[in-house]
Structure 1
Amino acid sequence: MKTAVNSEIKFAEINGRKLAYRSIGEGQPFILANRFRGDLDVWDPLFLDKLAEKYTIITFDYTGLASSTGTPGTSILDFANDIKDLADALGYKKIIAGGWSFGGFAAVVAATEFPELITHTVVIGANPPGENSIPIEEMFFDVSKRPEYTIEDETYLFFEPASERSKKAAVRSRERIAERTNGHDKKVLEELWNHYTLGSADYAVDPTNAREKLKKLQNPVLVIMGDHDVCFPVENWYALNRQLKNTHLIVFPEAGHGPQHEYPELTSSYIFEFIKNIQ
């Protein structure tokens, strides 16, 4: 049986480029977009395996990054288009879209631009589109750009270092990710990291008017956050309280930028119930 640690990399041919992806599980397709610098190997396998109990889970590399080919995007719509293009290439007419961190930006823009394709959207550890009042913690810029992450770096970036429970969860997640022993993805080259910066800046400028579209979106959106996200503070979502027609917010205590890695089973359970009960 294919699991997150033994699934192979496949390629979807799209207009002269190839998108690298992995797929596990069965059921409605659920395409997950990745974080800054994220390749196919950075997802917590327990989180993916739990989701794959009910859905076909597809993780992928953006155009021109890691094992995918082509010219990398410079706008957040470019990255959102990868979600749609991959769905089209795989023959999917309806999908669930999700994303973590930068991938959450891509998922939001995909949801607001392609509502006929996306039935539900799951956003993890990401800001709302447009201008937000609470910035990224300054230390994040230094730590996130270190060539290789130590367990201390990962604890700061994705967990809550002030919590013993969260620090222990960081170690367990790191161990699960290390269970893959072959078939690894390529790393995203450092000289290409600026494409995430361009996409993030574009998301804040919001040229597609995603912030206003999100307020009116009929298709349901689930936002999952930690209560101390050093990158995208959950308080930026509070500023939209009572303005969002169909967006639901869950906040994990003593959690950081990667709540799905700290609570993989609970996070997947929330996602199951959301998709099942909110139409």
Structure 2
Amino acid sequence: MMSGATATNAANQFVEVKGRRLAYRSIGHGTPIVLCARYRGNMDIWDPAFLDALATKGLRVITFDYTGLGLSSGTPTYDPPALAQDAGDLIEALGLGKVVISGWSLGGMAAQLAMAMFPDRISHAVLIGTTPPGPLVKAGEQLFYDTATKPDYTLEDETILFFEPASADSREAARRSVQRIAGRIAGRSIPVPQPWAKAAISSAPANPIFPVDSLLALLKTTTVPVLHIGGDHDIVFPVENWYALNHQLPTLQLLTFPRSGHGPHHQYPEAAADCIASFVRSTG
């Protein structure tokens, strides 16, 4: 059982660093895991069941708002190196030492870059529903771009974006996850402005979408354990792209959940947390 703060009542906290204020929340105790949010994400887009499950397994779970978004101050950008810098600055400001760096989707790109930018700070990398750098064997689907840029997400939109609409079980998991996320009432973060976010994303799939050759070279030589958690039908970052690199990345472990999409950790929150905790405990 977890004592103390939970994902739905954790206090908003702030650190002043390099001329801007970064907002964060922290639950649990033990090995720190820093979670970088997805596109249009703030501290409130994480499923509390996933965060709380991580916190019960010996992890200190830290979520935060990127510079200029949510409750953080400064000038916003979706440039992945800047998002990685936010994570690095937060790690340093909180005196966390070595951390598990994690990220979902766009945040997974930031997490990979953090491995390169702050190698002495990273013990493990947990990537969720994201893309590897370099050329892809399978591009994303137009449906993601048409849906992700809508002003507000309905339950149907959330199901399309993050779950598997073809599966009744996944549709029901989407409903439960959205309900859990809505459970935080007080102290919610500020939504990412939709017009700004829409202008910051391409209107169609690209290949490559993350063209950082030096990062791919790093992943091919790193000793840092890397876990990617994906769904078998991710409409923006197909998991097939990680499997295509499976024999080239020496520390990569792949976990793919069935009948799931871009948010497998929200469909299977406890199972995903179990696997992450085991990965951190047993590797490194």
TM-score range, shorter chain: over 0.9
Determine if the alignment matches structure 1 residue 16 to structure 2 residue 19: yes
Structure 1 counterpart of 2:193: 189
User: What does 1:112-261 align with in structure 2 at a 5 Å threshold?
Assistant: 112-193=116-197, 197=201, 204-206=210-212, 209-261=214-266
Hey, what's the Cα distance between the residues in 2 that align with 1:257 and 1:13? 33
**Which residue identity does 1:130 align to in structure 2?**
G
Contact conserved, 1:65 with 1:192, CA < 8 A, in 2?
Answer: no
Change (3 A) 1:50 1:71: same
Q: Deviations over 1:34-90 (max 9, x none)?
A: 000001111000100011111111101111112111122353211111111000010
The answer on whether the counterparts of 1:76 and 1:203 sit within 8 Å (CA) in structure 2 is no
Shift of 1:195: 7.5
**Aligned equivalents of 2:222 and 2:86: distance in 1?**
21
Contact 2:70 2:192 (8 Å CA) reproduced: yes
* Cα distance, 1:118 vs structure 2: 0.5
Query: Structure 1 counterpart of 2:212, which letter?
Result: D
CA distance in 1, matches of 2:194, 2:224: 36
The CA deviation string for residues 95-115 of structure 1, in whole angstroms up to 9 with x for no partner, is 111000110110111113322
Paired amino acid for 1:261: H
- Which range is displaced more, 39-48 or 188-197? 188-197
Structure 1: distance between partners of 2:224 and 2:254: 15
For the residue of structure 1 that corresponds to 2:66, the secondary structure is coil
Instruction: Write the distance in 2 (CA, Å) between the matches of 1:42 and 1:246.
Output: 29
Cα deviation for residue 268 of structure 1 reads 0.4
**Distance in 2 between residues matched to 1:229 and 1:66, nearest whole Å:** 26
Question: Aligned to 2:79, which of 72, 75, 79?
Answer: 75
SS in 2 for 1:107: helix
Q: What percent identity do the matched residue pairs reach?
A: 47
Partners of 2:229 and 2:256 within 8 A in 1: yes
Q: Secondary structure at the match of 1:99?
A: strand
| 165-174 or 68-77: bigger deviation | 68-77
Q: Is the contact made by 2:131 and 2:210 (CA closer than 8 Å) also made in structure 1?
A: no
Residue 196 (structure 1) shift: 5.0
Distance 1:94 1:32 in 2: 14
1:130-178 alpha-carbon deviations (Å, 9 max, x no partner): 2223212101111111111111111110000111111111111111111
Give the conservation status (yes or no) of the 8 Å contact 1:72–1:195: no
SS in 2 for 1:105: helix
Structure 2, unaligned runs of 5 or more: none
Question: SS at the partner of 1:11?
Answer: strand
Structure 1 gap ranges (5+): none
TM-score normalised by the chain length of structure 2: 0.93
Residue matched to 2:28 = 25
- Contact 2:149-2:198 at 8 Å conserved across structures: no
Q: Tell me the distance in 2 between the aligned counterparts of 1:153 and 1:204.
A: 25
Structure 1 segments, 4+ long, off by >4 Å, are 200-203
TM-score by length of 1: 0.95
CA distance in 2, matches of 1:69, 1:133: 38
- Aligned match for 1:90, one of 91, 94, 107: 94
Q: 1:81 to 1:194 in 2, by over 3 A?
A: farther
Aligned length: 277
